[in-house]
Structure 1
Amino acid sequence: MPAPGRHPEEDLPLPGDVTITDVVLRDGLQDEPVVVAVPDRVAVAAALAAAGVRAIEAASFVNPARVPQMAGAEELFAALPRGGRVRYSALALNARGVARAVAADVDEIVLVVSAGQGHSLANAGRGAEEVLAGLRDAVAGHPGAAFTGAVSTAFTCPFDGEIPPHRLLDVARGLAGMGVTRMVLADTLGTTRPERIARTLAAVRAALPDVEFGLHLHDASGQALDTVDAALELGVTRFDAAAGGYGGCPFAPGAHGNLATERLVAHLHSRGVRTGIDEDALADAVSLVRKCLARGTPLT
């Protein structure tokens, strides 16, 4: 595992001006009514890597009884092609998930905490403060692992409504207090206006200047690319997206699909921003995702 505080890509620099993490294998699949077989998920990862995607969020180490689409996470990580320049990450909500991810030799473990208390109770079964406390102990118990943070419902919660910036900052500080120096803020519903995300992002970055922030954007009405533009103006260079625009959150009523990786890449390239991703090869990966979903096993 990487040394504490290190990130794998620091040894293997990524090309381009912006780093895109494709999350279709995790956030994309978790809201679909089928279970995609592990070999198909491996094939999608390989196709994304062939397109030049260097950061892939491949799974969640969560209870498969609650999220059956994420079953087989250990089998998946054992089969993923390693040794190249791709960084594979996975989500964990609690100490059990962290321990499973460490045992599976995940490159980067994403610690997820909701800013909205209502979403935290629905998603993790506990309030945000309790989630932070459990993750703090888990991080301390695995000093050799690489961790990043993700704040769900960072701007708007389906249960609590608009999240005050101080609430988001409390959660971000909690993660930073564990030694996390990189985190993404998620517009989980995809409904938050770009200008509000930009204002909140600027405030949080000013309060935590040693943390590198990125955005995880869902897209309710085509506004996600406007948010990307606003974030670029602030100097943000990391974004999550999902091939094909799939995704959502089964524990966030009203959540829309993710910003599509292919739309994000095309938009950035049109602005002269490099990503290191080949658009034609990415289109092939998107086509493969659709085929894999079509032959997935329906949930019963």
Structure 2
Amino acid sequence: MPQQVQITDVVLRDGLQDEPVVVSVADRVRIAEALVAAGLRRIEAASFVNPARVPQMAGAEELVAALPSGARWSALALNRRGVERAVAAGVTDVCLVVSAAEGHSRANAGRGVHEALADLDGVVADNPRIRFTGGIATAFVCPFDGEISPERLAEVATAYAAIGVTRLGLADTLGTAEPQHVGRSIGAVREAVPEAVVGLHLHNALGQALRTVDIALDLGITRFDAAVGGYGGCPFAPGAHGNIATETLVDHLHARGVDTGIDRVRLGEAVAVVREALRRGSPIG
């Protein structure tokens, strides 16, 4: 079992994107400052997507320009245009996202899986100074296509490796994946792409996410995404539940003797900042 784990907090992106309000850039900066104060050093701040489809992510460029020092900031992009916007805004860590399932890919990205991957071909070579992560949405279960086989997931991981991306984030988008299935899928990805550095992005519908964490730790996984307050979901995945709460994950890891470098008291204060920001948000019509 690893002695130290890296947690990336995704409340600014995944946490806010499924809420019925738009949080101002100023309040998003306050959330960012609270996360840094709690000891989080990896934070996903924004998503460079069409604000007409995800209005909660409007103002991504303005937000990136105002982020405080003290953390490694990343942003999400679904396509080449999103990557170009993120790089132009000064983002140095970009999380690409492709779905493992055709149904979710068409709902989320407006195109099939192979089309989405083809659009990203060449982005790594074109942006040698950017650190890319290959996020795989609906890696285990899709609301449209059902359970995703480990072999299918390994195919998408292999396609990422072919375009030069071997840092992978496997997402349980719905939060319903059976922990043993996640374990088998991790094994399939590692077998297909031995050089892959694998992390998990866990949602938590049935309270089983911590069991998944335990299985992943035993497999040597050291990178997890979480969102303070357990906020989050996917607007294009019916039934998606919130992320595993950062505070829940931190408590669990600390109880197991795993170091995170995160201050639990300050983390609770960050949750309060998020709640207040949401209270002040502008309702989406």
Query: What TM-score range do you get, normalising by the shorter chain?
Result: over 0.9
2:279 is aligned with 1:263: no
Q: Which residue of 220, 231, 237 maps to 2:205?
A: 220
8 A Cα contact 1:120 1:127, kept in partner: yes
8 A Cα contact 2:151 2:188, kept in partner: no
Q: Which residue of 44, 60, 76 maps to 1:73?
A: 60
CA distance in 1, matches of 2:124, 2:82: 11
User: Aligned residue for 2:96?
Assistant: 111
Q: Which residue of 270, 280, 283 maps to 2:265?
A: 280
Please tell me the residue identity of whatever aligns with 1:181: T
User: Aligned residue for 2:17?
Assistant: 30
> Where in structure 1 do 4 or more consecutive aligned residues deviate above 4 Å?
none
Please tell me the residue identity of whatever aligns with 1:184: G
CA distance in 2, matches of 1:286, 1:129: 38
The superposition leaves residues 33-63 of structure 1 with CA deviations (integer Å, 9 ceiling, x where unpaired) of: 0000001101111110111101000010000
User: Aligned residue for 1:47?
Assistant: 34
CA distance in 1, matches of 2:177, 2:131: 30
Please tell me the residue identity of whatever aligns with 1:154: A
Please tell me the residue identity of whatever aligns with 1:211: A
CA distance in 2, matches of 1:145, 1:274: 28
Please tell me the residue identity of whatever aligns with 2:32: A
The superposition leaves residues 100-147 of structure 1 with CA deviations (integer Å, 9 ceiling, x where unpaired) of: 000011120001000000000000001011111111133332222221
The superposition leaves residues 143-195 of structure 1 with CA deviations (integer Å, 9 ceiling, x where unpaired) of: 22221110000000100101111211111111111221211100000001111
In the superposition, the TM-score normalised over structure 2's length comes to 0.97
User: Aligned residue for 1:172?
Assistant: 157
SS of 2:175's equivalent? coil
CA distance in 2, matches of 1:55, 1:204: 24
Unpaired segments ≥5 residues, structure 1 = 1-15
CA distance in 1, matches of 2:130, 2:6: 21
Please tell me the residue identity of whatever aligns with 2:89: A
Q: CA deviation at 1:207?
A: 2.2
8 A Cα contact 1:197 1:227, kept in partner: yes
CA distance in 1, matches of 2:195, 2:169: 14
How big is the alpha-carbon RMSD for the aligned residues of Structure 1 and Structure 2?
0.9
8 A Cα contact 1:17 1:274, kept in partner: yes
User: Aligned residue for 1:101?
Assistant: 86
Q: Across the two proteins, how many residue pairs are aligned to each other?
A: 283
The superposition leaves residues 182-223 of structure 1 with CA deviations (integer Å, 9 ceiling, x where unpaired) of: 111000000011111111112211221211001000001110
CA distance in 2, matches of 1:79, 1:225: 34
CA distance in 2, matches of 1:117, 1:164: 13
CA distance in 1, matches of 2:130, 2:215: 33
User: Aligned residue for 2:222?
Assistant: 237
Q: CA deviation at 1:240?
A: 0.3
CA distance in 1, matches of 2:161, 2:270: 35
The superposition leaves residues 213-242 of structure 1 with CA deviations (integer Å, 9 ceiling, x where unpaired) of: 010000011100000000000000000000
CA distance in 1, matches of 2:268, 2:31: 12
Identity of aligned residues (%): 67
CA distance in 2, matches of 1:241, 1:94: 23
Deviates more, 1:169-178 or 1:283-292: 169-178
SS of 1:281's equivalent? helix
CA distance in 1, matches of 2:130, 2:92: 8
CA distance in 1, matches of 2:129, 2:214: 36
CA distance in 2, matches of 1:273, 1:146: 26
In the superposition, the TM-score normalised over structure 1's length comes to 0.93
User: Aligned residue for 1:8?
Assistant: none
CA distance in 2, matches of 1:95, 1:170: 21
Unpaired segments ≥5 residues, structure 2 = none
Please tell me the residue identity of whatever aligns with 2:44: E
